[in-house]
Amino acid sequence: MKKVGIGIITYLVFIILYFLQTNFFSWFTIGGVSPNLFIIFAIFLGLFTNNYFAIVMSVIMGLTIDFEIGKQFVGPTAIMLTIISILVSYLDKNFSKDSKITILLLVSLGTIVFEIGLYGLNIFVFKYTSEMSTFLKILAVEVAYNIVLTYVLYNLIRKIGSKIERMFKEKHLLTRYF
Amino acid sequence: MYKAKHAGIISTIVIIIVLVLLVFLTNVDVKNLSYAQSISTSFIRPVQNGFNYLGNKLKGNDAFFVDLNTLRKENEELKNKNSKLEEQLRELEIIKAQNASLQEYSVLKDKYANYESIPADIIDRDFSNFGSQLVLNIGKKQGVEVGMTVIAEAGLVGNVVSCTNTSSTVQVIVDASSSVSAMITTSSEGIICKGSIDNNSELRATYIDTSSEVLVGDTVVTSGIGGIYPKGITIGTIKEVVNTNNLTDRYAVIETAVDFSKLYTVLVIKN
């Protein structure tokens, strides 16, 4: 029941992020490139909640985005967000999230994986013209922007993340520390 | 016993003193005490004046409190009036915005009178750095179907790629997956205009005939070939011609007629 509540709150946070992304960050850009709040959010979920919850929420969030602004077929954003949350959940077992550097690196990696995957899908499905140099330029700016945002929000992310983590993992022994 | 005896003596003395004083004060002419009175008043009067001043002030304050109640009532009434006026102002602004939209629709309808069209507002935009879709506030219920052309006052916007009952998604011509069959108005040469991922106001014109002369400033319109877009809708003007070593690879940069960053109202062409 508690997890359902957290799920609803998570979705409401996602809706707020959606409005921020589509309104505020549509003009608050670096050289016309906006950050991707959903990648940061999916990484946050992957790090501080359990695998199952992170994957379900990523699918729901991705599908919502695809329904709202997607093209002919639904799913690319959902697929990529899910891959990120799985990847982060896996890496969380091997790296300490107490380090700021680790989280910043995860955000960089998540952004790169997400955008390459989505661009690849667009080339494959929608016959996008391959413009690698332009793509890499945009990707570099987006990664930098996401890192800056995460750095600014780090303390908030850690604080809220720890609380959520306690709710999810309170009954489990963290065996990796033994 | 000793204490009780002394207490009785003291009280008796006090009573006697008070009595003597009373007798004295009630029988002596006040005029004879003017010097004593002046000494007394010089101490007491300023204090008394102070108390009088405070008393008057308090009386004034009382009036102030009465006024405050009236002011509160007036303030409430003014607040109510103000909120009503603000509400009216908001309604007026909504009416003004609707009027502006209707005027835009009217201009659009007049310009594209040959086409049966449905006016629409843009309610959402693709936020990704690699796509350029728009979401309109009309869908199947209003008669929108996939493949319909979307135009604005300045020219071509794109075509509908998906629609629900109440909304539809438009792939704009500057999207990286968009290709529009077009022609240059001055030479009637056919070209293909493709979008790119890095610019939302430019298209790249390819497949330019090696023998054709392309000039900066030429207008580009839809050719009608391909079956998606009707013929003759303005796409933009040629901004730059980029010549390469191989003449077949040369391309032109087209500046779109529509400013997509300031686009809020469009028409969906039904026929």
Residue A114: per-residue pLDDT: 93
> Which residues on chain B are in Cβ contact (under 8 Å) with A70?
133, 162, 169
Higher pLDDT, B103 or B230: B230
Predicted confidence (pLDDT) at residue B178 exceeds the cutoff of 90: no
| Cβ atoms of A62 and A80 closer than 8 Å | yes
Q: What is the CA radius of gyration of chain B?
A: 46
Predicted confidence (pLDDT) at residue A54 exceeds the cutoff of 60: yes
> Which residues on chain A are in Cβ contact (under 8 Å) with B131?
69, 71, 122
Write the Ramachandran bin of A157: left for phi over 0, alpha for psi from -120 to 50, otherwise beta.
alpha
> Which residues on chain B are in Cβ contact (under 8 Å) with A133?
none
**Which domains are seen in chain B, by residue range?**
117-271 (2.40.10.350)
Residue B57: per-residue pLDDT: 66
A21 interface with B at CB cutoff 8 Å: yes
Place of tokens 């599908």: A63
**Mean pLDDT across A48-52:** 85
**Burial zone of A60 (CB within 10 Å; 0-12 exposed, 13-18 middle, 19+ buried):** middle
Q: Which of B128, B132, B178 to mutate to test the interface with A (most CBs of A within 10 A)?
A: B128
A70 interface with B at CB cutoff 8 Å: yes
The region of weakest confidence among B41-45, B50-54, B87-91, B264-268 is B41-45
At B261, the pLDDT band (50, 70, 90 cuts) reads confident
Domain range spanning residue A156?
A: 2-177
Q: Which of B267, B229, B234 is nearest to B122 (CA)?
A: B267
Residue A12: per-residue pLDDT: 92
> What are the pLDDT digits (tens) for A84-136?
988 888 887 777 777 888 889 999 999 999 999 988 888 887 777 777 888 89
Q: Which of A46, A41, A50 is nearest to A10 (CA)?
A: A41
Collapsed DSSP state (helix, strand, coil) of residue A55: helix
> Dmax over Cα atoms in chain A, in whole Å?
52
Residue B159: per-residue pLDDT: 92
Query: How many CB pairs lie under 8 A apart between chains A and B?
Result: 71
Q: Which of B214, B134, B228, B132 is nearest to B180 (CA)?
A: B228
Report the distance separating Cα A38 and Cα B82, nearest Å. Answer: 42
Report the distance separating Cα B172 and Cα B161, nearest Å. Answer: 10
Collapsed DSSP state (helix, strand, coil) of residue B86: helix
Predicted confidence (pLDDT) at residue B249 exceeds the cutoff of 90: no
For chain B, list the strands marked E by DSSP.
117-125, 133-136, 149-151, 156-163, 168-172, 179-184, 190-194, 202-206, 219-222, 234-242, 251-256, 265-269
At B44, the pLDDT band (50, 70, 90 cuts) reads low
| Cβ atoms of B129 and A138 closer than 8 Å | yes
Q: Six-digit token pair at B5?
A: 């005896």
> Which residues on chain A are in Cβ contact (under 8 Å) with B200?
32
Q: What is the CATH number of the domain that holds A29?
A: 1.10.1760.20
Report the distance separating Cα A148 and Cα A142, nearest Å. Answer: 10
> What are the pLDDT digits (tens) for A6-27?
889 999 999 999 988 988 888 8
**Mean pLDDT across A59-75:** 81
A71 interface with B at CB cutoff 8 Å: yes
Residue A22: per-residue pLDDT: 86
Q: Six-digit token pair at B183?
A: 């022609």
Report the distance separating Cα B235 and Cα A44, nearest Å. Answer: 43
Report the distance separating Cα A107 and Cα A112, nearest Å. Answer: 9
Report the distance separating Cα A48 and Cα A169, nearest Å. Answer: 9
Helix (H) or strand (E) holding A126: helix A100-126
A114 interface with B at CB cutoff 8 Å: no
- HSE-CB of A73 using CA atoms within 13 angstroms: 9
- HSE-CB of B38 using CA atoms within 13 angstroms: 4
> What are the pLDDT digits (tens) for B121-174?
998 888 888 878 888 999 889 899 988 999 998 899 999 988 888 888 999 999
In this structure, the number of other CB atoms found within 10 A of the CB of residue A87 comes to 18
| Cβ atoms of B216 and B205 closer than 8 Å | no
**Mean pLDDT across B244-269:** 86
Query: Which of A150-164, B31-45, B202-216 tops mean pLDDT?
Result: A150-164
A69 interface with B at CB cutoff 8 Å: yes
| Beta carbons of A118 and B198 less than 8 Å apart | no
